[in-house]
């Protein structure tokens, strides 16, 4: 018989109203779960409880859903990529920085362990992990305790630059068939993983690096398995220019011609659409197409604002009827910081204060993510939903003064006030400490992983530059 856990008399609960389809506050309420399922959210719970948690100084909120992240490499880039970008390639760091600075196999595991721990500490319970398949990936993802969705990436071509001014593409002889087959092996392993908590996603890497044939096969494979597909598209000026040069239409319009814009597709980023102020294009159809096809967008503000780029803008997408979910993409793997930036940058881009209230970014990071993943049992606190929940310490100094706990959490305290996290009914963060991973040890190993990668930079960089040339220190050495 499954025993109940009860959080009794929580000061605040962010509950879900199924009728009105919105989160709302409950004060002095109880939350109970049995096994991996919520059994009660409300006041005056009268059932049994094998374990009881005093909730009087806690806020209970749903676990956050991160629908776009790259844990296998990004933590290693701290101190290296914050100011790295090529002004001759649309300010992006995609085309000369990223290919030059890459982890080895051991570094991938180290990066992933750090990222998983940081995500858990920031209240993430469901993670879409976009990685190139590497040894030990799925076992580490399962060990983390996250509701992990493996999204192994594959493509038909790699991009490169010979001079830092133009991007070229090297197409594989098989059109990406071998990489696709290897990715599907990982997808099926994840779907059948003994943890019974992992999921999977079919993930052709980028719109400009995949042939139409590969994309059609990818969509068929995803639908045969009943899982979503995610692809990077409209993520850079270079990509927009390349796709319009090839096809005479925008990247999203090309995907729509292939049938890829659909309810079971997630577009990663979708920033450089035909209505963006940086784009001078003759149509204004992209956002309407996303809405009409019910295609979700993974919005990751940090990685773009780092290079001076903005989604234009959060509420314009929402007003069109586009489902927005949030992702971390890069370091810091801190989902609460992404919520804060989504709100603030949405206001800056729209030049309106009330346009992106804090509750809306929470909805994107919970219900929006769940919808993108075709799930109705995560991202909410309601009976029958999965027991994925986060306990916020209301006594933390950065939560004071306590008037509106969500605002205090998102705009001030962030992960510092996250006390406990449960995924599938299992506690994976206790007292702010991740119990499933060695966060501190993995963080120490990051230095060695970074040094190994930086030593290889001249071999991979188009200009044979050293790491300190590609990314000088922020201050000169004396």
Tens of pLDDT along 270-326? Answer: 999 999 999 999 999 999 999 999 999 999 999 999 999 999 999 999 999 999 999
The predicted model scores a pTM of 0.97
Contact 297, 269 (CB under 8 A): yes
Q: What's residue 27's pLDDT?
A: 98
Separation between Cα atoms, residue 372 and residue 297, nearest integer Å = 8
Query: Is the peptide bond prior to 401 cis by the omega test (within 30 degrees of 0)?
Result: yes
What pLDDT score was predicted for residue 42?
A: 98
% of the chain exceeding 90 in pLDDT: 92
CB 19 within 8 A of CB 407: no
Phi, psi of 269 (to 5 degrees): 95, -65
Q: What is the DSSP letter of 413?
A: I
Work out the burial of residue 376: count CB atoms within 10 Å of its CB; fewer than 13 is exposed, 13-18 middle, 19 or more buried.
Answer: middle
Output the pLDDT for position 71.
Answer: 98
Q: Are 330 and 77 in contact (CB under 8 A)?
A: yes
pLDDT of residue 220: 98
Residue entry with tokens 């004071």: 400
Q: What is the per-residue pLDDT across 187-240, written as a single tens digit (0 to 9) for each?
A: 999 999 999 999 999 999 999 999 999 999 999 999 999 999 999 999 999 999
Q: Report the C-alpha gap between 206 and 204 in whole angstroms.
A: 6
Q: Place 441 in a pLDDT band, splitting at 50, 70 and 90.
A: very high
pLDDT at position 104, please?
94
pLDDT at 355: 80
Structural domains present in the chain: 4-61+387-433 (2.30.40.10), 64-372 (3.20.20.140)
- Please name the residue that has the structure tokens 């009409």: 292
Poorest-pLDDT segment among 248-257, 289-298, 341-350: 341-350
Distance of CA 198 to the CA centre of its chain: 16
Using omega within 30 degrees of 0 as the cis cutoff, is the peptide bond preceding 332 cis?
Answer: yes
pLDDT band for position 114 (50/70/90)? very high
Burial class (CB in 10 A: 0-12, 13-18, 19+), 181: exposed
Cβ–Cβ under 8 Å, residues 277 and 303: no
Q: How confident is the model at residue 331 (pLDDT cuts 50, 70, 90)?
A: very high
């Amino acid at each position: 018989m499954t025993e109940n856990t009860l959080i009794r008399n929580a000061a605040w609960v962010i509950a879900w109203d199924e009728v009105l389809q919105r989160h709302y506050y409950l004060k002095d309420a109880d939350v109970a779960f049995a096994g991996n399922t919520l059994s009660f959210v409300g006041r005056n719970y009268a059932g049994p409880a094998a374990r009881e948690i005093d909730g009087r100084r806690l806020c209970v909120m749903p676990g956050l859903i991160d629908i776009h992240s790259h844990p296998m490499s990004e933590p290693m880039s701290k101190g290296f990529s914050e100011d790295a970008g090529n002004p001759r390639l649309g300010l992006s760091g995609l085309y000369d920085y990223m290919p030059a600075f890459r982890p080895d196999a051991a570094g991938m595991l180290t990066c992933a362990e750090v990222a998983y721990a940081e995500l858990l500490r920031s209240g993430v319970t469901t993670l879409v992990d976009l990685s190139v398949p590497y040894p030990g990936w799925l076992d580490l993802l399962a060990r983390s305790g996250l509701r992990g969705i493996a999204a192994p990436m594959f493509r038909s071509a790699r991009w490169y630059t010979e001079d830092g001014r133009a991007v070229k593409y090297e197409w594989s002889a098989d059109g990406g068939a071998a990489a696709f087959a290897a990715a599907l092996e990982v997808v099926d392993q994840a779907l059948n993983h003994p943890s019974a908590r992992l999921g999977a996603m079919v993930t052709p890497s980028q719109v400009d690096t995949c042939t139409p044939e590969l994309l059609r096969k990818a969509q068929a494979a995803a639908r045969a398995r009943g899982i979503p597909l995610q692809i990077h598209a409209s993520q850079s000026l270079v990509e927009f220019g390349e796709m319009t040069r090839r096809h005479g239409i925008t990247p999203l319009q090309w995907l729509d011609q292939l049938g890829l814009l659909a309810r079971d597709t997630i577009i990663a980023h979708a920033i450089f659409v035909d209505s963006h102020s940086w784009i001078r294009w003759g149509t204004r159809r992209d956002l309407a197409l996303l809405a009409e096809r019910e295609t979700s967008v993974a919005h990751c503000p940090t990685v773009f604002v780092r290079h001076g780029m903005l989604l234009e803008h959060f509420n314009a997408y929402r007003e069109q009827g586009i489902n927005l979910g949030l992702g971390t993409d890069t370091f810091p793997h801190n989902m609460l910081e992404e919520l804060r930036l989504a709100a603030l940058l949405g206001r800056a881009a729209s030049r309106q204060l009330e346009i992106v209230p804090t509750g809306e970014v929470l909805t994107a990071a919970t219900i929006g993510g769940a919808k993108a993943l075709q799930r109705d049992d995560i991202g909410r606190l309601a009976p029958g939903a999965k027991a994925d929940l986060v306990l916020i310490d209301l006594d933390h100094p950065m939560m004071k003064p306590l008037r509106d706990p969500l605002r205090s959490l998102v705009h001030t305290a962030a992960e510092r006030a996250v006390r406990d996290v449960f995924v599938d009914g299992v506690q994976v963060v206790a007292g702010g400490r991740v119990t499933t991973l060695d966060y501190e040890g993995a963080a120490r190993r990051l230095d060695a992983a970074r040094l190994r990668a930086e030593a290889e930079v001249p071999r991979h960089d188009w200009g044979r530059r050293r790491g300190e040339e590609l990314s000088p220190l922020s201050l000169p050495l004396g």
